[in-house]
Amino acid sequence: MIKIETYMGTINISENYFSQLVGHEVSSCFGVSGMANSNAKQNLRSRIFSKRHYLDQGVFVKGNGTGLDVDLHIVVTYGLNISAIVQSITNKVRYVVEQATGLEVKNVNVYVDSMKS
């Protein structure tokens, strides 16, 4: 749970909300052909429910006192410039999260787990 304190009171936002928001935006970026599982819980969920796709797959959001840290595990399309894809994802995630919530994104770590042709 991430807390935002304003002059009107306290706002609590779950990390699941951020995972869904970031997962939706990243999966719509050019060059991203999918998301990879980022932890054992997501891997187990995808094994049990193999037909479903989850927006938070491959996304790990952690809130610290001053901002958010986002870890992304992606699958890219073969033949495209990986550094351009990663830079585009980083900029888009920062912009969307800051516009939606007003919280600053400290780190966006993008891990390219595999490539698809």
Residue 82 CA, chain-centre distance (Å), reads 17
Q: Mean pLDDT over all residues of the chain? A: 82
Q: In 3D, which of 30, 44, 42 has the Cα closest to residue 71?
A: 42
Q: Which fold has domain 2-116?
A: Alpha-Beta Plaits (3.30.70)
Residue 48: its pLDDT value, please? 59
Contact between residue 37 and residue 50 where contact means Cβ atoms under 8 Å apart: no
The confidence band for 7, taking pLDDT boundaries of 50, 70 and 90, is confident
Instruction: Give the model confidence (pLDDT) of 36-91 as tens digits.
Output: 776 555 555 555 555 555 677 888 888 876 788 999 999 899 999 999 999 999 99
Burial class, 29, CB count within 10 angstroms (exposed 0-12 / middle 13-18 / buried 19+) = middle
**Which residue do the tokens 């306290």 mark?**
10
Contact between residue 56 and residue 19 where contact means Cβ atoms under 8 Å apart: yes
Residue 89: its pLDDT value, please? 93
Report whether pLDDT(23) > 90. no
Residue 1: its pLDDT value, please? 75
Q: Where are the domains of the chain?
A: 2-116
Residue 16: its pLDDT value, please? 83
Higher pLDDT, 8 or 66: 8
Angle formed at CA 18 by CA 11 and CA 114, multiple of 5 degrees? 165
Q: What share of the chain is helix, strand, coil (3-state, %, to 5)?
A: 35, 35, 30
30 vs 21: CA distance, rounded Å:
17
The confidence band for 13, taking pLDDT boundaries of 50, 70 and 90, is confident
Residue 90: its pLDDT value, please? 94
